[in-house]
A and B are shown apart, each in its own frame.
Chain A
């Protein structure tokens, strides 16, 4: 029975099939919301499914000058990283499938795997657009990752644990967005940077470097990277909602809170122009890191006072 429930958790829910579908649906919701804000009609609900199905059915072209094992392997690792991360996160408002002390750090590491894989995938090819894109992807990773991580550790400190299930136990009923507003802002914008959404889409700015690091990818590899992005969006939104918005104790709250966050993200995407990569780095280290540090000082001050 134990093996069966393990297989269920890995293949169907919360990871596996459910997450893949949820990722595509959230991708659709994001695109649709952004389209509506920009006075466009936007895609129909099954468009991401159709795109991925079509990509999976297509031939994967392996360009000359790449290491073919890396080229094929990186998208698989990226997708696997995302799927594994989901096991430790309260996806769908249900308690995480697995839990151990310190799983927050593991989850965050697994989430960064996608970006790392994209950077490596870009550097692996000889294409100039991919190389510039990979440089930008990794540069961006180094700029948002530290403030993002520090901002997610804020709730962990308040809850007194680095275990996601214990933190969510604490945050159920505690709206940390009220007590840690700076951390919330940083984490939400950090999530946009992680997902390379506008204004942080310099790594895939089509008017400069075509599709960035993934320019040479087609067929299965591209489909897996896209699935990985969708998954990362769901996990990221879940984490933010669970930590800062009073927890996701049941499926309804999960839907309402993550979609509410998605709306905020879509509005930010619509009103902001793309940043240059040097501006992105400057912004994160000048303001993002500073905001988190102020938040931390405040928290430490409160702890000492109490």
Chain B
């Protein structure tokens, strides 16, 4: 520890355990004084083997498992999975169920974006905005609890429909809550675009140009803040989004401020959508009959999670269990942008840039490539894995 050579770079580790990150992810920033000269990312600290676990459960059980991939956008995971399985079975959910699905998805987006505003403000050392936005977020949490019975994993989806219905009283509560939130959100937009001290930390920081966003394959609000019109709800409307069209929200700023503004403007769009869905909710059944065994086939579904495009691949072999479920979350698409953007910025801006993509580490940790030097071998027996593990840790102590 003492013998530090002259040409050794000064590295500031952010993670795997660090107050800026609420989940484990490891970033190493080489700094020269306060300026970042290099950045690397290492993921995989929260790999939970969920994809493998889906193969041991039947299609219905998997809804509840996949919902637990993400604690913030749980509903959208279930929606993506259910849409894929419905596609495989050739069953379509009734219109009312489809509308309720996107109603909950939009409520979830509101909750996720409000949460993000708080977290991002905290990273910039603006704790008052953090506390206020999280207080207001309670409104949407209460609405979701009243509607579904849960505050986090809502369990709204079923194969071929939804579990919950919206009655007149609930509709009134939701509309009242949305009205309150709209007022508050206007205030936040005001703070974010006018507070001089806060603008010093966001305006012109972390410029992510349109070309970069396109080349690095950014998705969701991160891409839209760089003026890339990329939103699955608009490009390939799924479910009831065909009947309730969404307006694409983009910003030309390309900086952290634009990422704030894009999310806040999306909140307004979500409020509009929630109102429209509630006022034009189609009548009818909530569920359709659904077979237990799904005929063999493959299906993909793409949905717009609060953080960007969420991708599901489901393969069935004719039994009541899927043969393969593949999940790609939006965070992994945006992660490269952090490493790219951090270079050249001050160390103090790094948390803002990192949080700007709204990272969700546990969600994005899927499969881990075990060894690059094994010439593309993909099948390992348990015994081989054990031996490899022993060798690996011997080399690291």
Residues of chain A having any CB pair with chain B under 8 Å: 37-40, 64-65, 126, 128-129, 131-132, 135, 198-199, 201-202, 205-210, 270-279
* B125 touches which of A132, A207, A210 (Cβ 8 Å): A207
| Partner-contacting stretch, out of B219-227, B246-254, B345-353 | B345-353
A40 touches B131 (CB 8 A): yes
Q: Which stretch of B9-17, B59-67, B208-216 is in the interface?
A: B9-17
Contact yes or no, A126 B1, CB < 8 A: yes
Q: Are the C-beta atoms of A205 and B125 separated by less than 8 Å?
A: yes
B346 touches A276 (CB 8 A): yes
Q: How many residues of B contact A (CB 8 A)?
A: 36
Contact status B197-A272, CB under 8 Å = yes
Question: In the complex, which residues 17-45 of chain B have their Cβ closer than 8 Å to any Cβ of chain A?
Answer: 18-20, 31, 33-34
Interface residues of B in 335-358 (CB under 8 A from A): 346-351
- Knowing A271-B128, A276-B349, A277-B348 touch, does A128 contact B34 (C-beta < 8 A)? no
Contacts of A206 in B (CB 8 A): 19-20
Kindly list chain A residues whose C-beta atoms are within 8 Å of the C-beta of B135.
39
Do residues A279 and B200 form an inter-chain contact, with CB atoms below 8 A? yes
Residues on B lying within 8 angstroms of A by beta carbon are: 1-2, 10-14, 18-20, 31, 33-34, 121-129, 131-132, 135, 195, 197-198, 200-201, 346-351
Residue of A nearest to B136 (CB): A39
**Chain B min CB distance to A126 (Å):** 5
CB-CB under 8 A from A209, the residues of chain B are 12, 347
Known contacts A128-B13, A205-B348, A274 near B124 by CB under 8 Å: yes
CB distance from A263 to the nearest CB of B (A): 15
User: Contacts of B195 on A, CB cut-off 8 Å?
Assistant: 273
C-alpha gap A207/B349 in the complex (Å): 10
Other-chain contact of B197, A201, A273, A277 (Cβ < 8 Å): A273
A135: B residues at CB distance < 8 A: 33-34
CA distance A274 to B347 in the complex (A): 14
Q: Which residues of A contact B11 (CB under 8 A)?
A: 128
- With A38-B127, A273-B125, A273-B197 already in contact, the answer to whether A132 and B12 are too (CB < 8 A) is yes
Report yes or no: B346 in contact with A278, Cβ–Cβ below 8 A: yes
- Docked Cα-Cα span, A201 to B125, in Å, equals 8
* Chain B residues whose CB sits within 8 angstroms of the CB of A40 once the complex forms: 131
A39 to B12, CA, bound (A): 34
Pair B125/A38 contact, Cβ less than 8 Å: no
**B198/A273 in contact, CB under 8 A:** yes
Q: Who on chain A is nearest to B4 by CB?
A: A126
Least CB distance from B84 to A in Å reads 38
| Chain A positions within 8 Å of B351 at CB level | 207-208
A205 vs B20: C-alpha distance in the bound complex, in angstroms?
10
**Does the CB pair B20–A208 fall under 8 Å?**
yes
Asked if A274 and B201 sit within 8 Å, CB to CB, the answer is yes
Q: How many angstroms from the CA of A129 to the CA of B15 in the assembled complex?
A: 12
Bound CA span A221–B11, Å: 26
Residue on B nearest A282 in the bound complex, by CB: B200
Using A210-B18, A273-B198, A277-B348 as known contacts, say yes or no to A65 and B1 having CB atoms under 8 A apart. Answer: yes
Q: Are A198 and B125 closer than 8 Å at their CB atoms? A: yes
Is A273 within 8 A of B34, CB to CB?
no
